[in-house]
């Protein structure tokens, strides 16, 4: 009985530690990608601006497997504001080291990548109260080809994350 209580206590403490380590997260959602990520498929995330006073870091999160065949990743990320304004960015991320080893966290076949979107060069503030939409789409091409990669293999999940910045 004493051993069971000790095990339960350890589990509760571990859960508390995992939760407290992520206290900066304001929004963190993933969308699963079936088998392959089609070039016309959008991962869309709807959220309400936390406030218009504080600074935030925005990230695109990706989970990929060893089936991902490229050293980099090009994404088109569109941030739609409540008043109808839209800001579209084409972003490039390194996904592999020079030796071809995939970057990201994880010890298994799945790697997790937390990729900067906004807030890394200058502070990002939501300028309007209300509901925002972020659309994420891949824009991969093979070298020398005009047409994009129709079905991108190796991406299992696409996510979007907002973190509050300490010491606003």
pLDDT tens digit sequence for 61-119: 999 999 999 999 999 999 999 999 999 999 999 998 898 888 899 878 899 999 999 99
Residue 1 is predicted with a pLDDT of 55
Question: How many Å apart are CA 132 and CA 83, to the nearest integer?
Answer: 9
Q: What is the pLDDT of residue 65?
A: 94
The 3-class secondary structure across the chain, one letter per residue, is: CHHHHHHHHHHHHHHHHHHHHCCCEEEEEEEECCCEEECCCCEEEEEECCCCCCCEEEEEEEEECCCCCCCEEEEEEEEECCCCCEEEEEEEEECECCCCCECCECCCCCEEEEEEEECCCCCECCCCCCEEEEEEEECCECCCCCCECCEEECEEEEEEEEEECCCC
Q: What is the pLDDT of residue 16?
A: 43
Name the pLDDT band for 142 (thresholds 50, 70, 90). Answer: confident
Q: Residue 168: its pLDDT value, please?
A: 53
Amino acid 79: pLDDT: 98
17-68 pLDDT tens trace: 444 456 889 999 999 998 899 999 999 999 999 999 999 999 999 999 999 9
Which pTM does this prediction carry? Answer: 0.83
Bridge partners of 165?
Answer: none
């Amino acid at each position: 009985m004493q051993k069971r209580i000790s095990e339960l206590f350890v589990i509760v403490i571990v859960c508390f530690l995992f939760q407290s380590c992520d206290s900066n997260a304001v929004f963190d959602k993933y969308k699963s990608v079936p088998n392959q990520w089609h070039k016309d498929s959008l991962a869309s995330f709807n959220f309400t601006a936390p406030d218009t006073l504080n600074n935030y870091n925005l990230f695109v999160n990706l989970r990929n497997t060893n089936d991902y065949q490229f050293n980099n990743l090009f994404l088109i990320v569109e941030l739609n504001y409540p008043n109808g304004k839209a800001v579209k960015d084409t972003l490039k991320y390194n996904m592999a080291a020079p030796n071809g080893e995939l970057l990201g966290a994880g010890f298994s076949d799945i790697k997790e990548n937390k990729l900067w979107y906004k807030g890394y060069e200058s502070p990002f503030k939501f300028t309007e109260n209300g509901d925002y939409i972020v659309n994420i789409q891949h824009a991969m091409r093979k070298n020398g080809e005009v047409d994009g990669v129709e079905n991108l293999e190796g991406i299992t999940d696409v996510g979007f994350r907002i973190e509050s910045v300490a010491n606003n």
